Amino acid sequence: MESGAVFAGLHPSTTPGSHNLLLGPSRGAVKLLHPAFTEKRLFSIHPHNLQFQKQFHPVSFRNYGNNNVNCVKVDSRASNAVSELADIDWDNLGFGLMHTDYMYIMKCSKDEGFSKGELQRFGNIELSPSSGVLNYGQGLFEGLKAYRKHDGSILLFRPEENATRLREGAERMCMPAPTVEQFLEAVRVTVLANERWIPPAGKGSLYIRPLLMGSGAVLGLAPAPEYTFLIYVSPVGNYFKEGLAPINLIIETEMHRATPGGTGGVKTIGNYAAVLKAQSAAKAKGFSDVLYLDSVHKRYLEEVSSCNVFVVKGNLISTPAIKGTILPGITRKSILDVARSQGFQVEESHVTVDELLEADEVFCTGTAVVVSPVGSITYRDKRVTYGSDGVGRVSQQLYSALTSLQMGLTEDKMGWIVKLK
């Protein structure tokens, strides 16, 4: 058998360290002792049988060569053996970290491509105190979700967009990055290895967090000599405790999330630490989050701490244009396309505070929140509310359309859904 995988199933156990991942150095089989299996089964999986099934656009992954990932292969026969879900109160699932079974890791030196990716038991990783990510913030992350359908299918939403965005961010941060194919295969393997943690249909999703970091030691300011790509997952519910209910934002006038020429347009880790002070202060006053303005004129909308913002006036939906200080959100991009398909006029431009305060409706978008309607905006002690009966019509319409696509409830005419099994 060529490079592939053999799954050996065990009864679930709660004993720490009782399940192991054994990786052989040869071209032979990889043995994965998976805690979710309820009986012992063996599956021989040929690498040429590994396929990424995408509606309208099927993609087959083959042997990528010496400089590409050599990871554990998983196909639907192996994942079908996972019949029992994790013991979780799925009806009260929040947005927080749960320790799942496996994470995925691969490494490379500065001048080489990534190779030899592998699943490992979820747990702590070892970093040098002088690693590039700890000393100089040389790190990026992504976020995407896996959904379970009622028929047991597992779906991803536009994962190739995350792979592409990671590569673009890596170029800005002087980091090597996995190829799109490596990224997609790593996501697939990680999701299927943690299948028992994917919530039942309609109960939430499996949040997938890819990380790319400068893990090599460096003292002087310079790109790290070694890099680590890591993926872990966690089952999640709603990001905001309000769920699909109006959130209340405050406009920040002094602190700024990003500046022209900076890194606001890539998903680097430093973008998020920078918003914590203003966000914490806002939450202490009862607000859900903070809306930031541009750092030059202080009158144009940028984005919320971790979401893009949209303004609705009549049939026009406006959102701040991508100009280097705003993250090009994948949900943002998808909402624009969905809105156009439903007959809305869509505009990406400079959006002023005055336009925001005079809007009929405001909402935010992001991987974690999907679509989150805004109930009120507070600006310089002036509070403006939107609507009187909860979620706005446009927010509800776009939320329903996008989540129905993501969860496989409606036909994917966009070609955005990747079916894992």
Mean pLDDT of 5-27: 33
- Only one residue has tokens 């890194």, namely 263
CATH 3.30.470.10 for the 47-74+87-237 domain, yes or no: yes
Is 267 catalytic? The answer is yes
Amino acid identity at 363:
F
Among 29-43, 55-69, 328-342, the range of highest mean pLDDT: 328-342
Q: Label residue 242 by pLDDT band (50, 70, 90).
A: low
The active-site residue out of 54, 267, 419, 421 is 267
- CA 9 to CA 170: how far, in whole Å? 38
Residues 6+ apart with CB under 8 A from 256: 292, 293, 294, 295, 302
Predicted confidence (pLDDT) per residue in 113-143, tens digit: 898 899 999 999 999 999 999 999 999 999 9
Measure the CA–CA gap between 293 and 85, rounded to whole angstroms.
44
Q: Which residue has the tokens 């050599």?
A: 70
**Closest to 131 measured CA to CA, from 211, 209, 213, 212:** 213
178 and 114 in contact (C-beta within 8 Å)?
yes
**pLDDT at residue 44 greater than cutoff 60:** no
Q: How many CB atoms lie within 10 A of CB 259?
A: 13
Superfamily of domain 247-406, CATH level 4: D-amino Acid Aminotransferase, subunit A, domain 2 (3.20.10.10)
Name 60's Cβ contacts closer than 8 Å, sequence gap at least 6. 50, 51, 52
Q: Can you tell me the distance from the alpha carbon of 418 to that of 398, in angstroms, rounded to the nearest whole number?
A: 21
Q: Give residue 238's pLDDT.
A: 81
Residue span(s) of the chain under CATH 3.20.10.10 come to: 247-406
Beta bridge partners of 33: 8
Of the CA atoms within 13 Å of residue 296, those in its CB half-sphere come to: 8
**Position 32 pLDDT exceeds 70:** no
Closest CA to 61 of 47, 45, 74, 79: 47
pLDDT in tens, 310-349: 999 999 999 999 999 999 999 999 999 999 999 999 999 9
Which of the two residues, 31 and 261, has the higher pLDDT score?
A: 261
Which ranges of 153-309 would DSSP assign to H, the alpha helix? Answer: 159-172, 180-193, 270-273, 276-284
Phi, psi (degrees; rounded to nearest 5) at 325: -110, -5
The mean-pLDDT minimum among 111-115, 211-215, 378-382 falls in 111-115
Using a 10 angstrom Cβ sphere, with 0-12 exposed, 13-18 middle and 19 or more buried, the burial of residue 60 is: exposed
Q: Which of 54-68, 202-216, 248-262 has the lowest mean pLDDT?
A: 54-68
- List, in sequence order, the alpha helices (H) in 144-256: 159-172, 180-193
Give the global pTM.
0.81
Q: Which residue has the higher pLDDT, 331 or 79?
A: 331
Is the CB of residue 129 less than 8 Å from the CB of residue 166? no
Of the candidates 391, 291, 401, 410, the one whose C-alpha atom is nearest the C-alpha of residue 344 is 401
